[in-house]
Amino acid sequence: MAALTEEQVMIKDQAVAWVTKKTPVKKFREMRDADLEHSFSAETWAEMAEMGWAGLLVPEQYGGSGLGYLTFGLVLEQLGTQLTASPLFASALVGASAIMLAGSENQKLALLPTIADGSAIVTLAVEETARHAPEKIALSAEKASGGFKLNGSKTFVLEGMAATTFIVAARTSGKAGDKTGISLFIVPADTKGLSRIKRNTLDSRGYADVVFKDLVISEDALLGDVDEGFGILESVLDRARAGIGAEMLGCASQSFDMTLEYLKTRVQFGKVIGSFQALGHRAAGLFTQKELARSCVEAALQAIDDSIDKDSGVTKESKAGEIPKMSSLSKCKVGDFLHAMSNELIQIHGGIGMTDEFDAGLYLKRARVLETAYGNQAYHRNRFAVLSGF
Amino acid sequence: MADSPKVLDEFRLEVRSWLASHFPASLSGKAAGVGLGTNIQGELADDAEQWRKALADKGWGAATWPVEYGGAGLSQKHVRVINDEMGKVGAFNPMTVLAGMGVTMVGPTILEYGTDAQKLRHLPGMASGEVCWCLGYSEPGAGSDLAALTSKAEDKGDHWLVNGQKVWTSGANIAQWCGALVRTDPKAEKRNGISFVMMPMDQPGIETRLIKLITGTSPFCEMFFNDAKAEKGELLGKLNDGWSLGKRLLQHERQSQTGEGGPRPVAGTRATLTDIAKDYVGTDDNGMLDDPDLRLRLAEHLMSAKAHRLTISRIAAEAKGNVKVTAVASILKNSATDVSQIRSELLLEMAGHQGIGWEGDAYDESELENVRAWLFGKAMSIYGGSYEVQKNIISKNILGLPETTQKG
């Protein structure tokens, strides 16, 4: 754990206590088996908002506490340990980041306070293809009288069924693959021409496919400049990557702890299996990976915090340069660890790891979804190379 | 607060101006010329000696040690500022090499366990780089299983009589002093009955012989004790309690091995790994390396190196600047080993047939250096507790898993 401020320690302790008491993993299992429409418990979400977690990023003048990304990460990590389902990440981190980075004063006033109090769920709709490729956006936004007309579809939209507002990356010029010609729009979920359908992923969390058919939206809905949305989109995605890294770290750390506990208690051949060197060395290797991953996750979140001017809340370009590389580093390293850890979780538990009754499978399933979101390890290894100039 | 940012900023300016007036520019980036017990030779010899003296007078050769023992009584944060500023001008601390195992390992252990007399006798010579130390640990029958050592010291009333054989001793042929683990109670169980004894190398009872390595060089020795003598007052720590002291000393060793190895290149004097890759491998129209497989492994390596460095900073930050030597050093040593060995393998692979030369004009100096560094780097996962021993330490001491090795 990074050297934390008193405030951060307090929020971390609060998160540990709340998650332990209110949302142990059996709550997630209950939610899964209850087949809720939004794939999270409304009561859980309300409590999170009540504690102020939805406003952790939102600056004070818009109703939040503006405590920053590393602090948010401390909470997400704890939620990751028990697979707690909620729209907190999708809305209060990704949605809030988009508005904070590119919103006009009116847009900020309209959306940030409602994000911060949990009454709005603002989510980013970016993916269109099977693999993460933000520059390949094809959903079209044509100029129409007084605004734009959107046609196309989005997939794998986080909390897409519960969302009250979508931030939609659309193409206003050029063709799929061009980095210019992408624009971002704020689209309320109840806008005519928008329809959504639940997407059942293996982690039982909330996703949707969203279709836009001749959806007309006014000029005011534009987030940032027309055709120049790719830079903002990448900035939002980098914050999403760094943020989800914290949840991945929590998910993987819990998998590690469960495995370590099993190594110390399961007896075979008359000994606890942790006394076998083949297993002790694997645990040591995973522990090393865990510590390295934690350093990357915290450094990426810290890099984002360091780029924000404390007084004005404005991003300092001079400091923001490291964020893309650090986000890719974090997503890749914690992704590699989570991948290996979730497989070892099953393997070291043996037969019981294969049963639905035991929790290991829940972590394995969540792991693959988290790895896939916002670019998997291969995506970020390649991106890191490109950003390093080779 | 002694280490407040303001104090450190002022200290930084002080270091900067002191370096400007004391560090000879001719030595910039020449750290590699310093050898065990032997300062830079040739035309730079006078400058190098002048620099050593200046640094010794300032107490910055072992800056965290108390002033009365040749140090400067500074905090770790101050030392980081010194290192940082030295790095910027290509300056270096020669004492860590000149004193052999003195400043980095034996010294800190003497500070922790030694008597006042031992501290006064031994520490100043290490801190000034004038006395070189070697360390007798491994034996032919005691490598990873160090507690199996059989060299012994017998109490002869006014002195200790030492007999036995050590191996893999760095700088035994050069050192003036030696610290060695020896058995002082032959009847005790394996790990009890061991003591740490210090003795001068210049005596008839000690012989050394160089060992030639696969690199073609001989950085290590065998060391034979035949009725060697140590003064009665030169037992470090308690009698028969040398095992825990010796393990503690190894933690200092690991701590000093948690960097990625080799002298740090001075900015601008050496091409980055990426530049070297582009140079040998070439790039396509998009600037991507022409070998896609190598390209991703290079990216993976650079990320691992970054993760390793971030972990060192994180552990330092968590300790609030006072870096404690803990079991966590074991994960850093293995991680440093991974990073360092993979880097060497990549350098070799990138250069193709230019990467596999042994000697001659067909290869440039850096190509030949890389080959030696690659070969020598194989030792990194063996010395100071092998890769596997580190994993035992992690699983037992950090994770609390039951003992996997045989009980001693």
DSSP B228-270: EEEEGGGEESSTTBHHHHHHHHHHHHHHHT-S-SSPPPPTTTS
From B241, B268, B284, the end of a domain falls on B241
Dmax (CA) of chain B: 79
Domain assignment present for residue B249? The answer is no
Mean pLDDT value across residues B3-18: 93
Mean pLDDT of A22-29: 97
- Report the C-alpha gap between A126 and A184 in whole angstroms: 10
Chain A positions touching chain B (beta carbons under 8 Å):
1-3, 260, 263-264, 271-272, 274-277, 280-281, 283-285, 287-288, 291-296, 298-299, 329, 332-333, 381-382, 384-386, 388-390
Q: Is residue B377 part of a domain?
A: yes
CATH number of the structural domain spanning residue B310 = 1.20.140.10
**Contact call for B334 and A288, based on CB within 8 A:** yes
In a domain, B247, yes or no: no
Yes or no, beta carbons of B302 and A388 under 8 Å apart: yes
Counting Cα atoms < 13 Å in the Cβ hemisphere of A84 gives: 29
What is the sign of the dihedral through the CA atoms of B385, B387, B389 and B393?
Answer: positive
pLDDT confidence of residue B259? 59
DSSP-H helix ranges across B94-241: 95-98, 107-113, 116-127
Q: Do residues A388 and B302 lie in contact, with contact meaning Cβ atoms separated by under 8 Å?
A: yes
Residue B320: CB atoms within 10 A of its CB come to 12
ipTM for the whole complex? 0.92
d(CA A189, CA A166): 6
User: How many other CB atoms are found less than 10 A from the CB of residue B396?
Assistant: 19
With beta carbons under 8 A apart, name residues in chain A contacting B398. Answer: 284, 287
Q: Examine the domain organization and report whether B261 and B353 are in the same domain.
A: yes
A186-190, A346-350, B141-145: lowest mean pLDDT where? Answer: B141-145
Same domain, B147 and B91: no
State how far the alpha carbon of A266 is from the alpha carbons of A260, A273, B346, in Å: 10, 6, 41
Last residue of a domain, one of B212, B241, B270: B241
Mean pLDDT, chain A, integer = 96
Range of the domain at B214: 133-241
Tally Cβ neighbours within 10 Å of residue A273: 20
Same domain? For B201 and B273 the reply is no
- Residue B341 belongs to some domain of the structure: yes
B236 and B279 part of one domain: no
**Angle at CA B213, nearest 5°, toward B212 and B217?**
70
Q: Is the pLDDT of residue B407 over 60?
A: no
d(CA A38, CA B235): 71
Tell me if A263 sits within 8 A of A281, measured CB to CB. Answer: no
Residue-by-residue DSSP string for A195-213: EEEE---TT---EEEEEEE
**Which strand (E) or helix (H) includes residue B134?**
strand B133-136
For residue A260, the tally of other CB atoms under 10 A from its CB is: 19
- Residue A140 has what DSSP assignment? E
Per CB-CB distance under 8 Å, the chain B contacts of A390 are 274, 277-278, 283, 287-289, 295, 298-299
Q: What are the tokens at B71?
A: 């140090």
Contacts with B302 from chain A: Cβ below 8 Å = 384, 388
Max CA pair span of chain A: 78
| Domain co-membership, B270 together with B366 | yes
Q: Are residues B325 and B276 in the same domain?
A: yes
Q: Which of A83-87, A90-94, A170-174, B36-40 shows the lowest per-residue confidence on average (mean pLDDT)?
A: B36-40
**H or E element, residue B136:** strand B133-136
Which residues in chain A have their CB less than 8 angstroms from residue B296's CB? 381-382, 385
Whether B261 is in a domain gets the answer: yes
Contact yes or no for B380/B261 (Cβ under 8 A): yes
Residues in chain B: 408
Residue-wise pLDDT for A65-121, tens only, equals 999 999 999 999 999 999 999 999 999 999 999 999 999 999 999 999 999 999 999
Which range (A153-157, A197-201, A265-269, B314-318) has the least confidence?
Answer: B314-318
In CATH, what number is assigned to the domain containing residue B62?
A: 1.10.540
Distance CA A139, CA A137 (A): 6
| B406 domain-assigned | no
Residue B194 lies in a domain: yes
Residue A373 has pLDDT above 80, yes or no: yes
Selection from A115, A111, A112, A196 nearest residue A160 by Cα: A196
Kind and range of the H or E run holding B180: strand B177-183
Q: Does the annotation mark B260 as catalytic?
A: no
- Summarised one tens digit per residue, pLDDT across range A33-77 is 998 889 999 999 999 999 999 999 999 999 999 999 999 999 999
Residues B139 and B237 in one domain: yes
Q: Which of these is catalytic: B253, B260, B349, B367?
A: B253
Residues B92 and B174 in one domain: no
- Nearest by CB to A288, from B274, B335, B404: name it: B335
For position B224, which CATH number holds? 2.40.110.10
Q: In angstroms, rounded to a whole number, what is the distance separating the alpha carbons of residues B151 and A58?
A: 67
Mark whether B170 and B278 lie in a shared domain: no
Give the CA distances from residue A177 to residues A137, A138, A139, A181, A384, in Å, rounded to whole numbers and listed in that order: 7, 9, 12, 10, 19
pLDDT band at B2 (very low <50, low <70, confident <90, very high): low
Q: How many domains does chain B have?
A: 3
B281/B382 same-domain check: yes
- Domain shared by B223 and B351, yes or no: no
String of DSSP letters for A302-317: HHHHHHB-TTT--B-H
Question: Of the residues B98, B118, B145, which one is the last residue of a structural domain?
Answer: B98
pLDDT tens column, B187-237: 988 889 999 999 999 999 999 999 999 999 898 999 999 999 999 999 999
- CA B269 to chain A, closest CA, distance in angstroms equals 20
Q: Quick one: tokens of A4?
A: 């934390």
User: Does B388 touch chain A if contact means CB atoms closer than 8 Å?
Assistant: yes
B119 in a structural domain: no
Q: In terms of domains, do B231 and B322 share one?
A: no
Residue B145: which pLDDT band, with cuts at 50, 70 and 90?
confident
**Hey, what domains does chain A have and what are their CATH numbers?**
6-119 (1.10.540.10), 123-223 (2.40.110.10), 229-387 (1.20.140.10)
